[in-house]
Structures are given as structure tokens and as C-alpha cells.
Chain A
Amino acid sequence: MKPPPFAYLRPETPEEALAALASEADSALLLAGGQSLMAMLNMRLAQPSLLIDIGSLGALSYVRISGGALAVGAASTQSALEHRSGLVGEAPLLAQALPHLGHYQTRNRGTVCGSIAHADPSGELPLCLVALKGEVALRSVRERRIVQAEQFFLGALSTTRRPDEMIEEARFPLRRKGEGHAFRELSMRQGDFAICAVAASATADGLRLAVGGVADRPVARDWPLLEGGTLDDALSDFAWDLEARDDMHASARYRRMLVRKLGRAALEEAMSCRNG
């Protein structure tokens, strides 16, 4: 469990990081919190020639409100977001989801944008970003561009980010009046990858449910306000459409069951707290 040789750069500015990334875009990787990448390096699943450590770039370390969203910079840790005072009011879904993301210790190092860039199909932050219709701000030496969450994730560990691009910030829309949110997750142990995680939103005239851990990326679906058997049918259709697969810890059947049960519970909770 030792990585192969690589060069290491700790840039002073985002511009220096982007220039280095552009110069070796095919074989350079950005390192932020390292909570996924270090393990991949040690297992030789990633073999970059250059590692660009942006974890200590002060200019990218922020959590702030901007344009109706909570903007989280590339160097901000998950625990910085988790412990932001007022998060429960600003983005109650994140407040509910973050305690499920790994462990206290890994959240102290792991970054919000790193988790989004990693794009694990069961990741809580990609799920929340999709559920809330958030955005990813990408930047390279060439340009800056904004990508909607649902367009960003392409599949397991796969995104629309180009090799010379860095996620500069992730933007989670703030809760609007009359909106309710809820989060549910089933994992084998506290902090494990979700076998199924759901993020629900409800407004006066509609429901939205995003599911992680089942398809190869977080997937959301919108409905008008449904209830009773109609809601069950809609959830069952959604569960089938996610094309769940068997793995060592859970069957596809079981995952469909979780989408129905956790989905229903989360949607009901979201509806009930719309006016809170």
C-alpha cells in the first residue's frame, strides 16, 4: 500500500494551481482533503505524475451566501460547512445529511468540493446538490463556467469536469419560504457508504426526491403533490427506473424497497416541515 512516485506541488494561489493543472492536465490530480484520493493513491488505483495540493489555499477556503445560494469554496472542509452557525435555517437538508458523510475525523479533512468532484454514486453531497438543484462553478486557465448539478454527474466517479478544470465552488440554493426538506439514509454502519440515501423536498405544489447509492449517480424526480397509493406507485416506478444492482451487501430488490420506504418517509417529513 505505497503509492508510485509522483511530483507534489503546493501552490500559493488558485492561478498557480490552474497553470500547473493545465500544463500536465492528462496526468495531474488535484488534492484537497485527500480522504478518497490518498487511499486510491496507496492502492495504486490513481497514478498521477503530479499532485497539486489546493487544501491550504486560503482564497478558496470560504462558506458564504451569494446569489441566493450557499457558496462553498474548493478548500473548505465538510466540517466547516457542518458547523456553520445558521446552517439549519439556510440549508436544512445539508444539516441533516452531513452527519452521515463519513466520520467526524474524515469530515475535518475532507472537502465539500472534493467530495463532489469524486462523484461517488452514494455520496451525500452530490445527492444534496442534485436534490437542491445546485450548481458547480468550474474554472480553468481558459475559462470559468457553471454547470447544473444534474448535468454535472455522468456516472460512477465520472463528471463533466475537464482535466484542466478545478471546481472553484459548489453552490447550494438556500431554503425558500414554504419549502420543506428531509434526508434519510441506510448504511451498514454509521458513516459507511449509503446503500440507499434519499433527499426529499416539498413545496406548496410539488414534491422532489433525489436518490443516491442506487443508480450510478444521484438521480432526482419531480411530482405534483401526491399521496396515498398514488405516491406509492410513483415511488415504485422511480425505484425500478433507477436500475438497482446487486452487490455484496444488498440486493437490487432490497434497494428498491428502500427507495419506496425511505422515499415515502422522507417526502412525508418534507411535507410536514414546509411551514417551519
Chain B
Amino acid sequence: MNTADRTAEAGRLIGRAIERLEDAALLSGRGRYADDLPVPPGTLHAAVLRSSHAHAELVAIDTAAALALPGVVAVLTREDVKRWTRPFTVGVKQPMEHWCLAVDRVRYVGEPIAVVLAEDRYRAEDVLERIDVQYRPLPAAIDTRTAAAGGAPLLHPAVGANVVSDRSFRYGDPDGAFAAAEHRVALAIDYPRNSCTPIECFVVVAEWNPAEGSYEVMANFQGPMTIHPVMALALNVPSNRLRLKTPPDSGGSFGVKQALAPYIVLMAAAARLAGRPVKWTEDRLEHLVAANSATNRVTRIEAAVRRDGIVTALDWDQIEDCGAYLRAPEPATLYRMHGNMTGAYDIRHVSIRNRVVLTNKAPTGLNRGFGGPQVYFALERLMQRIAAELGLDPLEVIRRNLVPSDAFPYRTAPGALLDSGDYQRALDQAAAAGGLAELKRRRDAARAAGKLYGIGYAAVVEPSISNMGYITTVLTAAERQKAGPKNGAQSTATVAIDPLGAVSVIVASLPQGQGHRTVLAQVVAEVFGLQPRDIRVTTEFDTVRDAWSIAAGNYSSRFAGAVAGTAHLAAVALRDKLARIAAARLNVAVEDVRFADGKVHAAGNPDNSLSFGRVAGASHWAPGTLGEGAEAALRETVFWTPSVLDAPNEADEINSSATYGFIFDFCGVEIDRDTGQARIDKYVTMHDAGRLLNPALVDGQVRGGFSNGVGAAFFEQLVYDVDGTFRSGTFADYLVPTACEVPEPVILHMETPSPVTPLGAKGVGEGNCMSTPVCLANAVADALGVADVNLPMTPAKLAELMAIDDPPPRPPSSTR
């Protein structure tokens, strides 16, 4: 029996824009963030000594002078780390080691070398410069192309190359399609490094319990919990001896806090050395230099095109730069999009070459959009180029290539199952409701007035709920065979009822500010005919107490589709047990029990009712008299995995995500002729994220992703010099857009429910990170009439594209 059968229309909560339950605490200063939480007595404070070299052998580390200073308790170095930890597991089969501290060499500026443990952070930082490190500098590998071509110094000599993975894939008959092509259109892209930089940095509090041989850690880690085994293996303890807990509130993550994992291991080892608890709070300088970055990627993409703009084949050559170490789950950034490498288009012939290269830059990891920005920047720029080169309307080129409306569910050439959608209708609705015709008139008027004005489009398939097996596509079929299959996206939720009939929800979702508690309260309250405020939702996470699996955590936009859906399944299971208990007491058939307004009543006879609390508490107070066929309704834990997520097959086809939303964006951009500064005149973003659980929170996600996208488009880049010196070490160098730089987009929705997820919802939080940078770049390309547009599109770069008039200096003899 589904929700509709037991919930009257008036009781509907799912789909309503109710207020966030989180906000009362957050807005009145009562948030409980990792750094606010009390620490055990005797806790020491850590400061990390970091490499000033991009690449160097570590000759000697002398800590004697540091240890002599007052307030310093211990200094953790490579000897301790080698004694208690092991190198991290790596996702490709290569002889390279990544320890939580640099052991033989440093391989990027900012790499941890030692940890000072002192009575407070001030003293710990005071002694950092008293540790004497002798380096033997090595030449650095920085440029991605050079490193891929074998022309750069080796980072990991045992590997013998900086390319640690090189795989080629073929789907359909790309050679035949290219041979028969009327046109070939190609584009080369350098996608830069950037990062989502949450306002709250990393926090770890670690303790070692020698009696139990166990570590206990509180950290603002966000998952995925695939990393828990990685950390337990690195700490060389059974995984039930690494207890990981997370705080109630988060100051944001956007994927970035996955990269806490090496620091959790590092601080656990430090606590073991000191014999006391250790707390480390990362500061902004540490965060920018070493925490995490999205991958930079060098892409060459080519399309076989008919003269009407129909793309018959795609050829991808991607070189992924993962920095100095392949840190789990990398090289996942390169493979998360693998099933949807054809984007929103019906393209049956595809070849892909994927190389992973290591360079002397900070290691990469999860960042909102995860692989999508890099892929869609290339693909959607290419679609714009096809239109420009063939003299076609760019929107018409997109439209002609879309997956047809009647083709869903649609299996892409690389194996994704696009579960639902109507891309053509999304385009039509967006153009109408978003005012495309008016925007074209604005463009024409601006151009007539001599201004530089362009319109950009982007069509993007937004995957969510990743298949835990997609990353194994980096392995050959034979290697996968040997390792055993990996797939699925196990989600868990628990709904419990206490003796007074109050309802609690526990999920292993590690929210990072999105409003999970609100949505879960909505979903569960609707099932029971209660109000959201009646439901207590706990999102703190504890690996030894909670139900969880490796897909637990907050990533891949899995909350709405997977976690909220699983909570719904658990609530329905519990409610159906309650219905049996109530049926006996109301003297009606089970099918006729209804839940509404805090009451349980008979269908068609609301007066024949019991309070919800009385029915719900019965299993505690009177378990012996529940009635025939009724079992106790106390607590229900549901594990759910999408049925559509298989491991990659022999042909390397992979359904890399469970569900796929759709985005269609268009925008108008004007570029100032005097300064090269771009101004977003209008931005329209249409989303089909399946069924919307709370439209206000969805809009918040869209706005947030949009501002990340504006940042990537115009401002953000982690810059390295040719020698590996890091140039973006503060927020005065790494520029994140503020409210002044981010206009309000026009947000539109349509809903084609997913047949895969329990509530029909799809992810929505990452899409604008994928669509917005390229949509804006397409507008800039249109305004300037240029082919090569690289990010970030700073005024100086756009001025160069406009061809700066720089008359040479006049000779001094002239009149000055």
C-alpha cells in the first residue's frame, strides 16, 4: 500500500516549500559545529609543518630544538608514521605510496612533513619554524601535457611514468562514423583547477585507546564511507577499532570534506604518539594550499557531424591531472560521468581515451559537480562550435541531437540508463517561460548600439546517486574479474517510535547544510499523518552505533533520491505495522486504516479514531496484546539499493549513476569594451530533477550551484608557477564571488519522476556547477566571435580576446 492510499490530499507534505527546521538554531548562534564541540580533558592542539618545496627529497628532519620549547609535548614525524600506519590504498594497480606524512619525498607545496603537538595552537605554531628540515630539491612536474607526454621529472620512480592509468574505450563504431562524416569539428580545452572552499575548514579530534587498541575520532568528514575502510587499513586496525563520529552541524563541504581522510589518519597517529587526545583545526592558508582541489583536465574532443548538425560520433581524449598522489576515491572524477559522456544527446558511436597523470600539485578529490564541469565544458563548447562552423543556430544544433522524448528509459552508448525525462519539452518550456525571444531582442538592440553581447546555451544531464562500481571502470575487465564485482548504492534509514509515540529518524547521510532534517521530517510526517515538527531527525553519524554501508555519506547528490526515499520506505514499513495494530482496536480492516492530523482513524468514519501516540506506543506498553497478525512496531531500519546499478560489463559499459536529471540553461552576457569585464545580463536555468520534495530547498541548491558556477566561470583558479610555487594561498588571491557578483538566476522546473528512486526524486545540487560555466563561456564566445575560451574568464583574458590596442611608447623626444 503506498502513501497515497493512507494520506489524504490535505495531509500532503512532500513537495511543499516548508521552512527549514534547522534554521532557528543556526540563525540564533546555536549551531554546533565541529570546532565548537567540547574536547576531552588534556587535549593537545596540533599544527602541521608543511613543505615549502613542490618536489624534494627529505634528507633530514631535526625536531630537537622544537621539543625543547615550553608547551610542546611531542612532534610526529615519518618514523612514527611508518611504525603505526600504512600507505593508503590506491585505486589503480601501480607501485606508488601515499602516507599520511611525507616519508621519502615531498611532492607538492603544502604536503605535511611533521605535526607539532602543544598545549595550545599558538605555541604549536610558534615552534613550526624551529623544526629543521633539510631538503634536496628536485625539478618539478607541473604542466599536465608535459607530464603526460613523458617530458617531466618522475614523481613516483617505481611507477616509471607520471601517467598512472591509460585506458581506451570504444562504443558502437566511431571509426566508421568519422570516416563517413561530412564534417569534423574539434576543440581543445584546458579546464583549470578550482575548489569549492567551504567557509568551515577541517576539524579532527582523535584519541587512541591502548587498552582496546582502538581509535576514536570526531571529524567533520562528509563521506563517502567507502573511505572508512581506507582509513582503517591505513591505521592498521580492524575497522571496528576505528570509531568515527561527525558533528550535528556543518559549515559546508561541497565534497571537499571527503579530503579529511588523510588528516584523520594523521591525527590518530599523533594522538597515539602523545598518549593524549589531539585536536586540529585547519586554517584557511592550510586549506587553500593543501586540502583539496577539483582536477584540472586537458581535453581534446572531436565530433563527426552531418551537415544538418547531427552528431554521429564523439571522440574524447582526456588527460586528468590528479596532483601528487592518487588519493581515494580518485581517479573517480574522471569516471563519474563515464556512462553519460554523450550528455543529453543521442550519439551511438563514441571513443574515449582516459589518461590519469600525476604532477607536483595538491592531490584532488570530491568537489561539487565532480567530473561534470570538466566534461560538459568540453561537450557544450563543442556543440556551440559545431553551430558556429556550420552556420547553424546553436539552440537548433542542441535540439536536433537531444535524446528523443519517447526514448526513455534510454541506454546511452557507454551504458548509462537515462531513467526519465523529456528534454525537448524542457527546452520549449524554458524558452517560453524564460523569455528567450525577449533576450534575443535585447542582444540585437545591444549589438546595434555597438555593444559586445552574446547568448549562450547549455544542455546537461545531471547524474546522481553514483554506482559504487563506476570507479572500477578504470580497471580492465580482467582486473575487475580478479578483484570481484563492485556496484550499487546502499542507502540506509531508521525510523523509530518511543513509548509516548514520538517518532525519530536516523540516517547515515552526513548533511553539510542542505536541510536534510527538514526534508526527512516532511517525508516521514506525511506517512504518519503528523507535522514535520513532531519528527526528531538525527543526522550526527557514528560508525559503531549507526546502520551504514559504504555508500553512506553526503555526495553524488544522493540525498533526495536515495536517503529521503529510504527513510520513506522505513516509515511506510513501520506505519503498515501500526495499521495492523490499529485495525484490531478500531475494529476495521487493515486496508481501511488512515493516518491524519495526529490520529489513526477508520476510512470514511473519522470519529472512529485513536490518537497516533496511543497506537504508536502500544508496542512498548502492551506488546502482548497487539492483536492477531500484528507485530511490534518499534523501529524499522531499511537498506535500499537501486536495482539498476550493475558492475561494469565485459564491454566496459557502465550505468554510472542511478538517476539522471536534466538542465537546460541560457544566458545573455555583455562585455565592456573598455575593460573586458563581463556582466551577466540574464541567466535562465531550467531543471528537471524528478519529483521535488521541497521546492524552496531545491531553489537554494540551484542558487548555490549557480554561484559556484559563476565563480568557476569568471574568478576561481588555483594557480601554480612553473616551479610548483603555489600562488593562490589566501582569499585575496583565490577569488570566490560574493553576492555582488552573483545575479539572481531565473529558476524554472519541470518534473518527470524517476522510476528508479522510491519517491521519484533525483539529485539537483550539482547541476549548475556543470552547466553554468559553459553556458557563460558560450555566451562570451558568441559575444566575441572566438573559438577558444578558457576559464576563468577574467577581464584581462577577455580583453586579450578582444585584441588589446597597446600602442608602443613614443620616443622620449616627442612631447611629453
The residues of A with any CB-CB pair to B shorter than 8 Å are 1-5, 43-44, 186, 188-193, 195, 233-234, 236-237, 240, 248-251, 253-254, 256-258, 261-262, 265
Contacts and interface: CB of A to CB of B under 8 A. Distances in A.
A257 B801 CA distance: 13
B732 interface: yes
B804 A253 contact: yes
A43 B284 CA distance: 10
B675 to A, nearest CB: 5
B438 interface: no
Contact of B794 (A237, A249, A257, A261): A249
B727 A248 contact: yes
A28 B810 CA distance: 47
Nearest to A251: B796
Which of A2, A5, A233, A240 has the largest count of B CB atoms less than 10 A from its CB? A2
Nearest to B735: A188
Contacts of A257: 799, 804-806
A262 B733 contact: no
B738 A190 contact: yes
20 contacts: A1-B284, A2-B122, A4-B125, A5-B122, A43-B730, A44-B125, A191-B738, A233-B814, A236-B810, A248-B727, A249-B735, A250-B795, A250-B796, A254-B676, A254-B799, A254-B800, A254-B804, A257-B799, A261-B674, A265-B674
A195 B795 contact: yes
Contacts of B728: 248
Given A188-B735, A254-B800, A257-B806, A43 B126 contact: no
A253 B121 CA distance: 44
Contacts of B737: 189
Nearest to B798: A254
B192 to A, nearest CB: 12
Given A3-B122, A192-B732, 7 more contacts: A2-B121, A189-B740, A190-B738, A195-B795, A233-B814, A258-B675, A265-B674
Nearest to A44: B125
Interface string B119-159: 00110011000000000000000000000000000000000
B136 to A, nearest CB: 26
B794 A250 contact: yes
A41 to B, nearest CB: 12
Which of B674, B737, B741, B814 has the largest count of A CB atoms less than 10 A from its CB? B674
Contact of B796 (A234, A240, A249): A249
B284 A189 contact: no
B213 interface: no
Contacts of B125: 1-2, 4, 44
Contacts of B285: 1, 43
A1 B125 CA distance: 8
Contact of A254 (B122, B126, B796, B809): B796
A190 B741 contact: yes
A189 B806 contact: no
Contacts of B675: 186, 258, 261-262
Contacts of A251: 796, 800
B816 interface: yes
Contacts of A189: 715, 735, 737-738, 740-741
A240 B727 contact: no
A225 B208 CA distance: 77
A236 B807 contact: yes
B121 to A, nearest CB: 5
Nearest to A252: B806
B476 interface: no
A1 B121 CA distance: 9
B283 interface: yes
Contacts of A5: 122, 126
Nearest to B736: A189
B742 to A, nearest CB: 10
B740 A237 contact: no
Contacts of A265: 674
Interface in B736-768: 737-738, 740-741
Nearest to A255: B796
Interface in B512-537: none
Which of B285, B675, B676, B715 has the largest count of A CB atoms less than 10 A from its CB? B675
A236 B809 contact: yes
Contacts of A44: 125
Contacts of A195: 795-796
A237 B809 contact: yes
Nearest to A3: B122
B504 interface: no
Which of A5, A254, A261 has the largest count of B CB atoms less than 10 A from its CB? A254
Contacts of A233: 810, 814
